[in-house]
Structure 1
Amino acid sequence: MSTSRIASRHHTLRRAPAVSLLAVLAVVLAGIAAFGGGAGTARGDVPPPAPGWTQQWSDDFNGANGSLPSSADWQIDTGHSYPGGPANWGTGEVQNYTASPDNISQDGNGHLRITPLRDGAGNWTSARIETRRADFKAPAGGALRIEGRIRMPNVTGDAALGYWPAFWALGSPYRGDYWNWPSIGEFDIMENVNGINSVWGVLHCGVNPGGPCNETSGLGASRVCPGASCQSAFHTYRFEWDRSVSPNELRWYVDGQLYHSLDQSRFDATTWANMTDHAGYFILLNVAIGGAFPDALGGSTPTAATVPGHAMLVDYVAVWTRGGGGTTPPPGGSSQLYLHSGGAAGDAAGSGSTVSLASADGANHDGSPHSPQVFTASGITRAYNGGSTEFDLFLDAGSVVANGQQIRVSYDRTGDGTWDRTETYHYFATDPVPGYEHYTQARGLKSATGSHGDLAGGRVRIEVWSAIGNAPSTLGTGNQSYVRIPFG
């Protein structure tokens, strides 16, 4: 295999997972043996939870033939990059992603269909979608399971060169930044290239190049699909993040068979925290054409022999959690309040944005809000669960030295204008290196007044300001910063 650098799915160069001669031979032999199987059919519904698991979200793609996936659940990525993000999605892939039903639609038989196409001039189009929710996370002391039943594009050999289907998840801080990969984490639940009868599962984390995840390759493993080939039949691809064991574990399965696992002891504390101590993950489905990974195993792709029109079919995608001290509430709940530009706090927005925090102008405003950004949620009726406030603010001070940001959270239990509980946390000193950081409750309480109690039509006010420093800072909003209040 070439030792040249090749791109990751996002924006940084990545080498394909190492493939030994024996592994390639095994894939080829398995492909010859797995000649039966057929295309398979849609299951028709998401399977019921396994004992002890609770379904948090799902889509079984039961829409009409030619319809787009639910806009309430999914957003469609278009073009050759995110706005302001790396070109060609950072991977060297050649297709233009569209929202055309020709490239992405439900088929009326319980499938989502993502179809790469090529026009007469040789230009490729395809599709990529991601969940609006970006809070899929293993609960403390529990586990997360993300699963999809998928038939890869049914094309092999030279006709498949350049095909790159994938089912994966990215850490929520990636939205609105697009340059913080791989520190925010990436779980590749199913990857395949060039019609090879194999599934790859990969973790990306840490720094690039090198680091604990061996970037730009990531930490991956692959295996032949059980029974019928990956391309000729539906298979179930599953990823689990288990916080109920020590050390915590990450696991990859195909058709219930474990083929890759990693545990927390392999990583330093900062790498693990950057990957896990944020709001959660969003899920993606796409079929790319060409780029680093296909090129690594098939030369320069696509080629004149590559045949367009072979769709990836997705029967369902579902998310379950098990155990722990509760899960991140779904949109519509009022325990996890995302900060919105404009001063509201509530459900996660579809994409990230930012607001500016005014400079402290060289004064010390530690503990006293100074020109704060204020976010308010009202009309909350929930019982106090005995816990404490948690938060994750996405902050950047650029290359400025000695800036520090601070948060105060206040609770008006009945909405009568009286703040019954006010909590001010120690400020967070941002570093002078461009790039976002995470300010969490781990900084500790500076002061607290009053007491908690049940909310009955109550309000929560969140104030964020510059406590020290001589320059403004940037606060992520939308789906990037949140406060989790201790109410069930």
Structure 2
Amino acid sequence: MYAVTFTATAAQAAAPGPPSGWTTVFSDDFNGPAGSAPSSANWMFDTGAGSSFGTGEIETMTNSTANTHLDGGGNLDITALNNGGNWTSGRIQTPTANVGAPAGGKLQVTASIQQPDPGSGLGYWPAFWMLGPGQWPENGEIDIMEDVNALSQVAGTIHCGTYPGGVCNEGTGVGSGLRACSGCQTGYHTYSMILDRTNTSAETITWYLDGSQYFSVSESQVGTSTWQAAFDHNLSIILDLAMGGGFPNGVCGCTSPNGSTSSGASMNVDYVAAYTTTGGGTGTSYQSLPGTWPQCASENGSCAVDGHKTVAFGANGRFNYSTLGNSTACTTGVFGDPIPGTVKACYTETPPPAANTWTPCATENTTCSFAGVMTVAYGANGAYNYATLPNGASCNNATFGDPASGSVKSCYVTGPPPSFTSWTSCATENSTCSFSGTHEVAYGANGQYYYGSFSGGTACGNTVFGDPVPGTAKLCYVQ
């Protein structure tokens, strides 16, 4: 067994207040008694074998205060311990994806950290990072600070797209590579990231060490749809100290840690804070055009629609939506301007039976069965009427009218998320899904979803939708 003592080190500073024009959305100074766990309101432990994280780590993450504790002086210590060849350490995460940049605004996430300073540091892997909810890597990861093997360096990286490979080069990601970080093992330094969405067609993420920029990536490097799925939503904040794995092994060209690696070094964190600026314009969170919708009009033309259809207006992955019948002018006066200075067009919903958007659910005069609320299309041969209905639908003319007289018709429902050809993640559970116009919203997880049709956004929670999968963290998706 090992004995642990807690030595208080005076906190270097309180978490700074927001810069001018910014608002604090999360902050922790790590004040509390020596040896206690960090605030359960701000953090939860992510426990288990490091091998389960997919990074090759060899430690076991615990909820023991031997590994993760406050030092009594206003700092958090995450300590890696070797007990007879079995390494343990700590990893904590905000309980929800709690911080994100609003459309038209910015998000800054920053921390004051002293990197571990072991006598022999082969295999040490401290990290301060952010993770999007849902599927990795498509729902995003931002690594704000990483170092390996106690080299007193720093790297900033994004992960996105598909694994392996893809536009984000997974599982390596798009990153700065390790850069010199002088004095980062012997003193506290600030590590920061700013996600800038002020120009929603040219968003960026920029990394700073002690306030000086050292790396940046842009939306254009990975493509609009990949970027939006990864970063146009809230993310959680994570602090951890791993041992071994792909990154330290790749740098040393060896297997780490080894028998000489020192036990008991800590990553010390003085504060973590997040700030946002207010989104400009309407503050609308725009989604990519669902699936492959046909164009119905160029800008300032007229879009003719049969029945009740959703029309999208925009270009380059930026669209405003409205649900319309008959015809409408394809203008900024009707839809607003989702992408100023760019020539736009109008598009209508992809009609059934497009497999990437619609699924057959019933033939004429039978029942289309489903739970919750869904949009149902009824018709044939390119002529369809639509209705948003709860808990199933009678697939007949009495319910929908007759869009294709004399033809045998069928009913179709929209496919469930998270198929990002047709659905875009818009909110975590108990937050707000924001959009303009009228959209279908799906709420749930793991293939179980409830649906609703909303105008101008909706709260994302059980009180609105019911609970399609009790005991599981859920998300909202918008179509």
Q: What's the CA shift string for 1:405-458, capped at 9, x where partnerless?
A: x9779xxxxxxxxxxxxxxxx953348989996466699548x99999xx9xxx
Equivalent AA in structure 2 for residue 103 of structure 1: N
Query: Are the counterparts in 2 of residues 407 and 462 from structure 1 also a CA contact under 8 Å?
Result: no
1:133 aligned residue: 96
Q: How does 1:210-229 map to 2 (within 5 A)?
A: 210-222=165-177, 224=179, 228-229=182-183
1:144 aligned residue: 107
Q: Match of 1:324, SS?
A: coil
1:269 is aligned, of 224, 234, 256, to 224
Inter-partner Cα distance in structure 2 for 1:123 and 1:312: 19
Aligned-pair CA distance for 1:476: 9.3
Inter-partner Cα distance in structure 2 for 1:224 and 1:283: 22
Equivalent AA in structure 2 for residue 132 of structure 1: P
Equivalent AA in structure 1 for residue 74 of structure 2: G
1:105 aligned residue: 69
2:347 aligned residue: none
Q: Match of 1:323, SS?
A: coil
Q: Against the structure 1 CA distance between its residues 436 and 128, is the aligned structure 2 distance closer, same or farther, given a 3 Å change threshold?
A: farther
1:295 aligned residue: 249
Q: Against the structure 1 CA distance between its residues 171 and 41, is the aligned structure 2 distance closer, same or farther, given a 3 Å change threshold?
A: same
Q: What's the CA shift string for 1:335-360, capped at 9, x where partnerless?
A: xxxxxxxxxxxxxxxxxxxxxxxxx9
Is 1:65 equivalent to 2:64 in the alignment?
no
Is 1:56 equivalent to 2:25 in the alignment?
yes
Query: Are the counterparts in 2 of residues 185 and 203 from structure 1 also a CA contact under 8 Å?
Result: yes
Equivalent AA in structure 2 for residue 117 of structure 1: L
Structure 2 spans left out of the alignment, 5+ residues: 1-7, 285-358, 374-386, 391-411, 427-434, 441-451
Segment of structure 1 superposing worse, 306-315 or 259-268: 259-268
Inter-partner Cα distance in structure 1 for 2:165 and 2:61: 30
Q: What's the CA shift string for 1:184-204, capped at 9, x where partnerless?
A: 111000000001121000011
Equivalent AA in structure 2 for residue 238 of structure 1: S
Is 1:247 equivalent to 2:208 in the alignment?
no
Q: CA RMSD in A?
A: 3.9
1:429 aligned residue: 415
Q: How does 1:472-487 map to 2 (within 5 A)?
A: 478-482=472-476
Inter-partner Cα distance in structure 1 for 2:388 and 2:261: 55
1:415 aligned residue: none
1:467 aligned residue: none
Inter-partner Cα distance in structure 2 for 1:79 and 1:89: 9
Query: Are the counterparts in 2 of residues 225 and 254 from structure 1 also a CA contact under 8 Å?
Result: no
1:35 aligned residue: none
Query: Are the counterparts in 2 of residues 135 and 172 from structure 1 also a CA contact under 8 Å?
Result: no
Q: Match of 2:195, SS?
A: strand
Aligned-pair CA distance for 1:269: 2.5
Inter-partner Cα distance in structure 2 for 1:274 and 1:194: 33
1:95 aligned residue: 59
Q: Against the structure 1 CA distance between its residues 202 and 434, is the aligned structure 2 distance closer, same or farther, given a 3 Å change threshold?
A: closer
Is 1:114 equivalent to 2:78 in the alignment?
yes
Aligned-pair CA distance for 1:225: 5.1
1:191 aligned residue: 146
Q: Against the structure 1 CA distance between its residues 112 and 233, is the aligned structure 2 distance closer, same or farther, given a 3 Å change threshold?
A: same
Q: State the TM-score, normalizing by the size of structure 2.
A: 0.62
Q: Match of 2:361, SS?
A: coil
Equivalent AA in structure 2 for residue 137 of structure 1: G
Is 1:46 equivalent to 2:15 in the alignment?
yes
Q: What's the CA shift string for 1:384-422, capped at 9, x where partnerless?
A: xxxxxxxxxxxxxxxxxxxxxx9779xxxxxxxxxxxxx
Inter-partner Cα distance in structure 2 for 1:476 and 1:266: 39
Equivalent AA in structure 1 for residue 156 of structure 2: G
Inter-partner Cα distance in structure 2 for 1:216 and 1:449: 37
Q: State the TM-score, normalizing by the size of structure 1.
A: 0.61
2:465 aligned residue: 462
Aligned-pair CA distance for 1:294: 0.7
Q: Against the structure 1 CA distance between its residues 160 and 66, is the aligned structure 2 distance closer, same or farther, given a 3 Å change threshold?
A: same
2:268 is aligned, of 271, 292, 313, to 313
Q: Against the structure 1 CA distance between its residues 153 and 255, is the aligned structure 2 distance closer, same or farther, given a 3 Å change threshold?
A: same
Equivalent AA in structure 2 for residue 308 of structure 1: S
Q: Against the structure 1 CA distance between its residues 479 and 137, is the aligned structure 2 distance closer, same or farther, given a 3 Å change threshold?
A: farther
Q: How does 1:369-384 map to 2 (within 5 A)?
A: 372-373=371-372
Inter-partner Cα distance in structure 1 for 2:474 and 2:267: 31
Aligned-pair CA distance for 1:321: 0.1
Q: How does 1:161-240 map to 2 (within 5 A)?
A: 161-173=122-134, 180-222=135-177, 224=179, 228-240=182-194
Aligned-pair CA distance for 1:47: 0.7
Q: Against the structure 1 CA distance between its residues 429 and 436, is the aligned structure 2 distance closer, same or farther, given a 3 Å change threshold?
A: closer
Inter-partner Cα distance in structure 2 for 1:257 and 1:290: 29
Q: Against the structure 1 CA distance between its residues 95 and 478, is the aligned structure 2 distance closer, same or farther, given a 3 Å change threshold?
A: same
Q: What's the CA shift string for 1:313-340, capped at 9, x where partnerless?
A: 0001111001215999xxxxxxxxxxxx
Structure 1 spans left out of the alignment, 5+ residues: 1-38, 82-86, 174-179, 329-359, 375-405, 410-425, 465-473
Q: Against the structure 1 CA distance between its residues 434 and 143, is the aligned structure 2 distance closer, same or farther, given a 3 Å change threshold?
A: closer
